[in-house]
Amino acid sequence: MTQFLSYGPWALGNKALIAAVALFAAPVEAADVHILALGDSLTQGYGLIEQDGFVPQLRDWLSQRGHDVRVVNGGVSGDTTAGGLARVAWSLTPEIDAMIVALGGNDLLRGIAPETVRANLDGILQVAAAQDLQVLLIGMQAPGNYGAEYKSAFDAIYPDLASQYGALHLNSFFAGLTEIGTDPATLSAFMQPDGIHPNADGVEKIVGHIGPKVEELIARSQGQP
C-alpha cells in the first residue's frame, strides 16, 4: 500500500522564507471569514502551480458553495509540529477567525517520539484557544514499521487532542484518496511522480473530502451550532 507521508525539502530556504513573510504582510482581503491553514508541503502545494495547490483549490471549492472566505497559506515544506509551534503565534494575525492544522508527517519520517509530537500539537492548540479560535485538526496514522506501541501512541494523538480542546477532527489529509481504494496503481493517477505528494487531480479529491469539515469550521467561527 502506498504510504502517504511527507513531504518535500527539509529546510526552508531564504527565498521561501522571504515569500512567506511577504504573504503574511500582504494586504488583507475583505472576506466574511479568514482561515489560516497551518501545515507542511501538502498545505503549501509542493510541486504544483499555484492555482492547483491545496489552499487555492479549497478556496475555490468554498467559493462555489457561496462562502466568502480567505484562506491563508501557512504551509511550509518540510515543517514538523515543532516548526508549526514555533511560528503559529505570529502566523495568527489579528484578522484570522479559525485555523486548519495539518502537521505531523515529517515528524513520522524522522521517527520523532509521539509524546513530543503530542506536546507540540498541544502547544499549537493552546495558542488557538487563548485567541478563542476554532480549529480543524487533521490527523494521520503511523505506518506499522515503527512498531505497534509507537503506532498506537501516535495514532491516538489527534483524536485525543481534538476531544480535549473541542476542535473539529478529520482522520487523515488523504481520506479523499483512500476512499477511492488502496490499490497503488489506482492511486498513482492522483499522485506526483514522487509517490508522496498529490497532483492537481489528487488535490481536488482531497479538497472534496476536507471541504465539508471546513464548512463546519466556518459555521463554528461565526457562532453557529
Q: C-alpha cell of 169?
A: 477532527
Q: Is the Cβ–Cβ distance between 122 and 82 less than 8 Å?
A: no
What is the spatial distance between Cα 216 and Cα 225, in angstroms, rounded to a whole number? 9
160: helix, coil or strand?
A: helix
Bridge partners (DSSP) listed for residue 73: 37
Contacts of 122 (CB under 8 A, 6+ apart): 161
Q: Which residue has the cell 482561515?
A: 35
Axis-axis angle for helices 157-165, 148-155 (nearest 10): 20
Q: How many CB atoms lie within 10 A of CB 95?
A: 13
Based on its alpha-carbon atoms, the radius of gyration of the chain, rounded to whole angstroms, reads 16
Q: Residues with catalytic annotation?
A: 41, 194, 197
